[in-house]
Structure 1
């Protein structure tokens, strides 16, 4: 199990689209969670020949990425209205409605692994930010759909931000 996570993380870090490597039937078929904790990417077609997408990660996979000390930017996409100052430990606040300039300042390396999250499964902010990042040319974007609520329900630690950004 850990081997699959490390392969996926290694492929993401190497800069290629990792989706081909772990989306096979032995790991994660369709859009359902598989044994590896990562599902096929959400895909948005730009044209008939060019599709862009981001991956989706579950709690166990995100925990593995963090435990492995993988270079990653964990990004809280909640807007100020919904930001209570609680974060997944180490996360930065970068609201989904941030300007291109603010995003590029906070995330200068477009090849860096980025994991977005928001409040919970119903919150659209992480999806919006993930799509914006892909459109801006970020190569390694994962969305954590369970959000802070799912993270806390799974018994994972959170931190208090000094003040929401």
Structure 2
């Protein structure tokens, strides 16, 4: 009996470790896939990325910049957005082209200074609305374009202030 208990405990421990290893590995594979997708978007888009704490630092330093929320106005921006952000909705599927109306709206929002610091964000890392906006800003000749990967979700999780439209 004394031998059975340690052997059973060892078998149980190995089973738990193996189960956790497979679960951990599957999660990591999912993380890697997301990272690779994001990296490819950034490369295709030609823009830079900024972290949530870095953007907050820029805001605290009162850096001259334009922050744009690319989520739908009614369903998202109106409820919560990064304080001071402007809003212009972009679609989720990658935009291979942009119509003249959308292009004119974007240029009007971005202004004539092609070196202006511009930050686009959407809801969360897998959301590609901000990718589309940043990519098209770069294609239109803007040089200082950033994407905030974690979007408003990471901003709120950091307990940074959000704005809302009443």
Unaligned runs of 5+ in 2: 1-34, 92-100
For 2:104 and 2:158, locate their aligned partners in 1 and report how far apart those are by CA, in whole Å: 34
Superposition deviation, residue 82 in structure 1: 4.3
Which structure: larger Rg? 2
Q: Does 1:42 align with 2:24?
A: no
Q: Does 1:153 align with 2:157?
A: yes
For 1:87 and 1:101, locate their aligned partners in 2 and report how far apart those are by CA, in whole Å: 24
| Greater percentage in helix | 2
For 1:140 and 1:117, locate their aligned partners in 2 and report how far apart those are by CA, in whole Å: 15
For 1:82 and 1:129, locate their aligned partners in 2 and report how far apart those are by CA, in whole Å: 18
Task: Give the total of aligned pairs.
Answer: 117
Superposition deviation, residue 78 in structure 1: 1.1
* Alignment correspondent of 1:9: none
Following TM superposition, where does structure 1 have runs of at least 4 consecutive aligned residues deviating by more than 6 angstroms? none
Deviation per residue, 1:44-95 (Å, 9 max, x gap): 2xxxxxxx71111111110111011110001001134743412101000011
TM (normalized to structure 1)?
Answer: 0.64
Deviation per residue, 1:1-29 (Å, 9 max, x gap): xxxxxxxxxxxxxxxxxxxxxxxxxxxxx
Secondary structure at the counterpart of residue 96 of structure 1? coil
Unaligned runs of 5+ in 1: 1-31, 33-38, 45-51
Structure 1 residues 84 and 73, CA, compared in 2 at 3 Å: closer, same or farther? Answer: closer
Q: CA RMSD in A?
A: 2.2
* Alignment correspondent of 1:95: 89
Structure 1 residues 84 and 53, CA, compared in 2 at 3 Å: closer, same or farther? Answer: closer
Q: Does 1:107 align with 2:110?
A: yes
| Greater percentage in strand | 1
Superposition deviation, residue 111 in structure 1: 1.4
Q: Which has the higher contact order (CA 8 A, sep 6+)?
A: 2
* Alignment correspondent of 1:73: 66
